[in-house]
Amino acid sequence: HHLLIMESLGGDTLWRDRFLGQHSALIYYILLLVMWLVSPALAYNFSELIEAHAVDTYGQFAEQNKDKLRLLPAPRIARAYYESDDLYLFDEFQTARPRSSRRPRINTLYDVFCAIRDDEGEHVATMKECQMEDSMMSDVDKVNMGTVGVLAYFAVNVWLTRLASVAGLDALEIDSVDAGEILGEDGLIAAALRLFSFLPFL
């Protein structure tokens, strides 16, 4: 919705702005994905830094232009997002406060930028929460080891599938268990691995 708000203010008028915005988002997504594969904690920390920068940027802009912004009406999309009955997951990302405890009042463009700044602050709190000792990410080393374990599991199964294929085996028996359906070309593991085909070792 932040993007929709900026577009309603003319942020998508120029082709180069649309190109830069869309491709920057794609690069950011790929970068975070790679970081997550290396270390989930690293990905969360990087996101926290980006969101903290957004808090500072929106806050500075709102403060430096508050007199002008208070004279301008809020875009319809901003009022619809912050004040309508359908808040579209608004409460879900407010992880550092009780549900439904934040309901911004939007009257002017200044209110819009302050609300966006506060949204980014909530994102920062969420990223911090994911790294805290009492969160689901309480033991970062275990999360990292779990990630490595899953990737290793997939890699081993690909290797076994290719080994069975090279050996001309239709099925692979381990302890008298026919694993052909699981490790075969159309097996469950092969199907799951196709989701991760972008990884170099697959």
pLDDT in tens, 46-55: 999 999 999 9
Determine if the pTM surpasses 0.75.
no
Q: Rounded to 5 degrees, what are φ and ψ at 22?
A: -65, -45
Name the token pair of 122.
């909530």
Cα separation of 50 and 123, whole Å?
10
pLDDT of residue 94 exceeding 70:
no
**Regarding beta strands 173-174 and 177-178, do their DSSP bridges make them parallel or antiparallel, or are they unpaired?**
antiparallel
Name the token pair of 173.
């028996």
Q: Rounded to 5 degrees, what are φ and ψ at 134?
A: -100, 15
Residue type for 195, please? L
Please give the pLDDT value at position 201. Answer: 46
Please give the pLDDT value at position 175. Answer: 46
Give the model confidence (pLDDT) of 63-82 as tens digits: 999 999 999 999 998 888 88
Give the model confidence (pLDDT) of 127-145 as tens digits: 888 776 555 554 556 666 7
Cα separation of 129 and 42, whole Å?
14
Cα separation of 35 and 73, whole Å?
40
pLDDT of residue 152 exceeding 70:
yes
Contact 117, 52 (CB under 8 A): no
Please give the pLDDT value at position 12. Answer: 80
Please give the pLDDT value at position 117. Answer: 92
Looking up tokens 């209110």 gives: 111
Range in 57-61, 101-105, 113-117 the model is least confident about: 101-105
Predicted confidence band at 84 (pLDDT cuts at 50, 70, 90)? confident
Cα separation of 124 and 50, whole Å?
9
Mean pLDDT of 158-168: 72
Q: For residue 153, what are the CA distances in angstroms to 75, 160, 172?
A: 50, 11, 17
Name the token pair of 123.
């994102």
Name the token pair of 23.
């491709």
pLDDT of residue 27 exceeding 90:
yes
Other residues' Cβ atoms within 10 Å of the Cβ of residue 68: 10
Please give the pLDDT value at position 177. Answer: 45
For the chain, give the mean pLDDT.
76
pLDDT of residue 147 exceeding 50:
yes
Please give the pLDDT value at position 113. Answer: 93
pLDDT of residue 58 exceeding 90:
yes
Burial tier of 52 (Cβ tally within 10 Å: 0-12, 13-18, 19+): middle
